[in-house]
Amino acid sequence: MRRLFAALLLVIGWSSPVHARGASSTAILIEGRYEITGTQPDGDSVHFCPTRVEDWKLLRGRAVKPNKRGCHQLRLEGIDALETHYAPKPRPGALGVMRQPLDLARAASAQLLKRLGFAHVERRGETVREARPPRVSGYILAETTDRYGRPLAFVFQGEHPGNTGDRLPLDQAYTASVNHQLLAGGLVYPAFYSSLPDGVRRAMVRDVERARAGRRGIWSKDRSSVGFDVPERADELRERAYIAPKLFRRLADYVAARGTALDGFASFLAERRGDRVFVVSEGRERPFAALVATEGQVVRLLKPLEDLVFLDD
């Protein structure tokens, strides 16, 4: 009966209180340029410099603190790329910087930069040493920042006929965004937060479903739902963890604190009271811990990622 009720809510277009709390169907246009030399862009983040540094003040949330050139790292809204440099919490020194397999992580980053207009990128490690051209024009659509002061943005290449400060409908602009291109290409996972308008979320869900059906990119290797066998050696995670980055980050935190044996992973997740999730198909809020199953050394998600809306960062 509960499943039938949830299905009826979805059919009639019901939106949860999560989305009603402030996720606007429009976003603010900010024009500027992308500059990446000396930064570490990955598949879901890149540095952006607005035409005027004061344009950052148009966004709600924690204040943006730009560098000397007025630039700041963006977090691309609605997507999550495989981690290339994650410091586990609360013991970042225990394992050093952790990462996921680099083949698809770097493919996502390369595609992001190519779509923005960078023809050549040379790195030392993860840091960009040289980019050609050194900067490219572009614009973002954003509404707010995350708790680290990073704008949550849909990113676009080139010029826009509008003006900075204009409000534009996100559902119409979405398919021109790099966010869409990465998700549709299977290069990133979905990561929906309550800042995401429901109409755009639905379009992103369709992108995920098509990419998974076509086994594009990460969907040819993903183990998030079928089960990931956690290796005894923590360093092997770097080459084997084709799982949702959200799950990987929690797993890396756990391994850094307690080791690779998963007998305490469920309680570890339950202790993280900030991990609240709205499950769209059920029409209710649940803790993230309730959506993760462990059997021996195998961990898996009980719901597809596109069915989840995270209420906290």
Domain regions of the chain by residue span: 2-8+221-310, 21-219
Residue 44 three-state SS: coil
Residue 199 has pLDDT above 50, yes or no: yes
Residue with tokens 């910087």, as numbered in its chain: 97
Radius of gyration for the chain, computed over Cα atoms and rounded to the nearest angstrom = 19
As a whole number, the mean pLDDT across the chain is 91
The token pair at 127 is 């840091």
Residues 6+ apart with CB under 8 A from 188: 43, 44, 79, 80, 81, 108, 182, 218
Summarised one tens digit per residue, pLDDT across range 129-157 is 999 999 999 999 999 999 999 999 999 99
pLDDT of 13 higher than 60: no
Whether the model pTM is above 0.85: yes
% of the chain surpassing 90 pLDDT: 86
- The answer to whether the beta carbons of residues 75 and 36 sit under 8 Å apart is no
7 pLDDT higher than 70: no
CATH architecture, domain defined by 21-219 = Beta Barrel (2.40)
Cis peptide before 90 (omega within 30 of 0): yes
The model's pLDDT over 72-114, given as tens digits with 9 standing for 90+, comes to 999 999 999 999 999 998 665 667 889 999 999 999 999 999 9
